[in-house]
Amino acid sequence: MKTKLLVLLTIVLCYGCKKDSKNEVSGLDENTSGLSDKSFSEVEIAVLLSDSTLNIRALELLKNDTGCYFLTSEGLAGQIKSPDLNNVFLNEITYPITVDAKKEGLNFRALAVTSKAKFGVSVESPAYVYKIDAMGTSLVYQENHENAFYDAMAFWNDNEGIAIGDPTDSCMSIIVTRDGGVTWTKIACDNLPAAKAGEAAFAASNTNIKIIGNNTWVATGGKFSRVLFSSDKGKTWDVFDTPIVQGLQTTGMYSIDFYNDKIGYAIGGDYTRPGANGSNKIKTIDGGKTWQVAAENKAPGYRSCVQYVPNSNGKGLVAVGFKGIDYSNDGGENWKYLTSEGFYTIRFVNDSVAYAAGDKRIAKLNFR
């Protein structure tokens, strides 16, 4: 076990708030409509782990503990425990260890954490799902199709989980477990919406899937970018069109999040044109059935991850990407560029503290 010296950076920027003048139907109760109670004006970034050999897109919070677990694109795993969120010097870092020394080229970009275990799925073929618990690491699923490429993973509870990937047949690849991750089964295309030509998903931040209760939303991308929806933990599925930019292999939704079962937001664009901001942000107030373009032709451009700020009444959002961090406190209609410090993915611990991961580092972010 090693603990790396952290580097503390503080970025302070001015931020002005703009109040909503309308009280339209928003998916919120009347007593929670309007701006969030908390508005950020700065972000403090404490780099907890810095290693020039690491690329980290798979990051999740630990259950029943303050900290995070991560997998890397180099086939490594590790965790950070933070007993005191207010003291950035009290972080216990388990330095990344090899998940499977017998497999070369393991690239993890998807991760899920339950109270009993951690699970990772590798991209590319063959695709491997690993279960990591107190007993060690075990390979629980393997898919050898030449087009296998899994993008995201999540669990409904300790026993039931899902991973999604690019099509290998006429539908998106979706595998599920109902026994705590011991076995995984691929859903037949007869039970899924047909994929369109050029429709796939992006393994950019492990946020292509969002789960609230039994509801599950899956964001696709590429030449077509749609939302797959299940209200019964993956047993049946619908699909909804979106107005997000699409048409190329590099366009579409890269990340989706929901504040509750009605209010949702998705972000993406085209990572090859990171400054382009036309139709790269969309929102819904009816559980994903219909979507509207948000912040049209306004910054930010391409971002790989968007997350709602907890306890923000569905108004607070943070987006991250390799070009920086942005914040909105009006449901994603207007955004403020907070810093050029880039990350691939972010997870909130509470309404002001988050962990973020990216190229060569993991950091703790304190929004003020």
* Domains of the chain listed by start with CATH number: 7-18+36-367 (2.130.10.10)
pLDDT bin (cut points 50, 70, 90) of residue 31 is very low
pLDDT bin (cut points 50, 70, 90) of residue 91 is confident
> In a 3-state reduction of DSSP, which class is residue 173?
strand
Query: 245, 266 in Cβ contact below 8 A?
Result: no
- Sequence-distant (6+) residues with CB within 8 A of 148 are 124, 125, 126, 127, 165, 166, 168, 173
CA neighbor of 307 nearest in space, from 265, 262, 260: 265
Helix (H) or strand (E) holding 175: strand 173-177
> Can you tell me the distance from the alpha carbon of 122 to that of 128, in angstroms, rounded to the nearest whole number?
5
The dihedral over CA atoms of 212, 298, 349, 230, expressed in degrees to the nearest 10, equals: 10
Query: 166, 104 in Cβ contact below 8 A?
Result: no
pLDDT tens per residue, range 182-222: 999 999 999 999 999 999 999 999 999 999 999 999 999 99
CA neighbor of 283 nearest in space, from 334, 339, 338: 334
Which amino acid belongs to residue 353? Answer: V
pLDDT tens per residue, range 287-300: 999 999 999 999 99
Q: Are strands 317-321 and 324-328 parallel, antiparallel or unpaired?
A: antiparallel
> Can you tell me the distance from the alpha carbon of 221 to that of 247, in angstroms, rounded to the nearest whole number?
9
Which amino acid belongs to residue 114? Answer: T
Whether pTM > 0.75 for this model: the answer is: yes
Residue 21: pLDDT above 90? no
> Can you tell me the distance from the alpha carbon of 328 to that of 253, in angstroms, rounded to the nearest whole number?
18
